[in-house]
Amino acid sequence: MAVIAEIDRPVGGAERLAVPAAVVVVARPGADAAASSPALEDTAGRVSGGMVREQSMESFRRELESVYDSFHQQLFLCAIVVTRCPDLAEDAMHDAFCRLLRRPTPPEDLKAYVFRSVRNAAIDLMRKRNRAAAVPETWIFAPAPDPWRVVESLEFQRRLTAALFELAEGEREIVMLRLYAELTFREIAELRGDSINTVMSSYRRGLARLRGLLEDMP
């Protein structure tokens, strides 16, 4: 049987500070401490396991913040391709990250899992809506840095947006994820659940059609 004793640790000479958190397990003479305290060992094991899980989740939260900081624009684009609305895209990202933080364990491939989560959240939002949102002509473009090129830039953005929506839904998503989100073909394939060959074929087909549409536009 074990006896738990509190330790008093000397601090600054005469003064002494009680440290209740520090305990010593003292075995009585002739007793086997390991054999005589299975309940204590079980408790220690549970505490140790809980600490490991807590450290793992804290590390997961930090990694999740890093993914958000590094890929915010790509994740936003991944959502807006589906929602066609900046506000809904932000809502999808918010929903996805809230769900991720409630996971009991971290996923193995965090980046890929985050992109899938954002895309799935965007799809869920659109299923709840009765109609598609209006699409602004500059929805996927950053503001032009040169004021003298604003008019020319806005005209090109209008034409490109119109051409993108002439593409089939899958072709449009693949083209935009490749060109603007800068995902690899492998990442797009994993995101959509397609083979790499399917993604590459759709990309080539969509890009060729996009070029043709832009050439035919006045």
DSSP designation for 36:
H
**Model confidence at 143, in pLDDT bands (50, 70, 90)?**
very low
Mean pLDDT in residue range 198-217: 91
> Which residue intervals of the chain are DSSP H helices?
33-36, 38-83, 86-101, 110-127, 150-164, 169-179, 185-192, 196-216
Mean pLDDT in residue range 192-209: 94
The three-point CA angle 110-112-117 to 5° equals: 90
pLDDT tens digits for 85-127? 888 999 999 999 999 988 888 788 888 899 999 999 999 998 8
CA atoms of 90 and 22, how far apart (whole Å): 48
The whole-number pLDDT of residue 94 equals 94
pLDDT tens digits for 59-87? 888 889 999 999 998 999 899 888 888 88
With contact defined as beta carbons under 8 Å apart, do 103 and 146 qualify? no
**Looking at the DSSP assignment, which residues form a beta bridge with residue 5?**
24
Percent of the chain's residues with pLDDT above 70: 63
Q: Which positions ≥6 away from 188 have C-beta within 8 Å? A: 174, 177, 178, 194, 199
- Which residue in this structure is represented by tokens 């204590």? 40
Tell me the chain's radius of gyration from C-alpha atoms: 29
